[in-house]
Amino acid sequence: MKLESLNPLERIIYIAEQQSQGVPLDSFCILATTTVQPFTTVAPGDIQARLIHLLGPILTLEAFAEAIGNKLRATGQVYLLGDQAVWGIAGQNDPPDHSWKMHLETLACAGLIFRFPVALKFGYKDPLLTQVRSNSWGKAAFEHFDLHHHAGFHTLVTRLEAVLEAHSEHYIELVRACQNPRRPLDIDRIQALNRRVPVPIVT
C-alpha cells in the first residue's frame, strides 16, 4: 500500500508516527514512493503531541477562515498570500525557515491544505510566493482531532477578527479587486492594497 492511497487523516497520523521515530518531513513530499501498512484514523496516544504540532498550521488556517466568514461574509474562498502570512498570524516574529515551508508542503502533499504558487492573474513575479488555505480535509482533521478546543484557537479568531475589522475598507476593496470578472485584473491596485493590510490575501 502506498501513502498516496490513504486518505488525508490517515496520512497525517502516519506522518506523525514516523516523525516521533525521527523520520524527517521531507521524506513524505513524494507520497507515491512511501509504502505503508493498512491504516486507520485512530492515532496512538504516544504520538498525540506530535500530531497536534503537525496540525498547528491547520488550526491557524481554520481560525483565519472563521474570522473571514464572520467579518467578510459572502466573499467565497480566501487564501493567505504567502507562507510568511501563515507564519505571521500564528504569532511567529522571525522569518519562516526551510523547516516551516517543508511543514506546509507536507500538509499540502497529505491533502489537508491548498498551497500552490500564487495565480498568475494577480501579477506577482516571485515564483516562490504561495497562496494557502485549509481545505475540506483540513477542516475534517480540525474537527476529528478536536482542535477547536485548543487553548489558542478562539483567541486567534478574536485577534484576526479585530485585524479584519480595523482594515475592513481595504479588505472589502481587495476582495472585489481579486474577484473582478473583467480581465486583466487591476494588479497594481491589488498589490498596493496587500501592502497596506497586515495580513495579505488573494481569492
Closest CA to 152 of 55, 78, 19: 55
The more confident residue out of 177 and 76 is: 177
- HSE value, Cβ hemisphere, 13 Å, CA-based, for 61: 33
Average pLDDT for 61-84: 93
Most distant CA pair in the chain: distance in Å?
53
Tell me the per-residue pLDDT of 82-131, one tens digit each, with 9 for 90 and over.
999 999 998 776 777 778 888 999 999 889 999 999 999 999 999 889 99
pLDDT tens for 126-160 read 988 999 999 999 999 999 999 888 878 999 999 99
In the chain, domain spans? 55-202
Burial of 48 (0-12, 13-18, 19+ CB in 10 A): middle
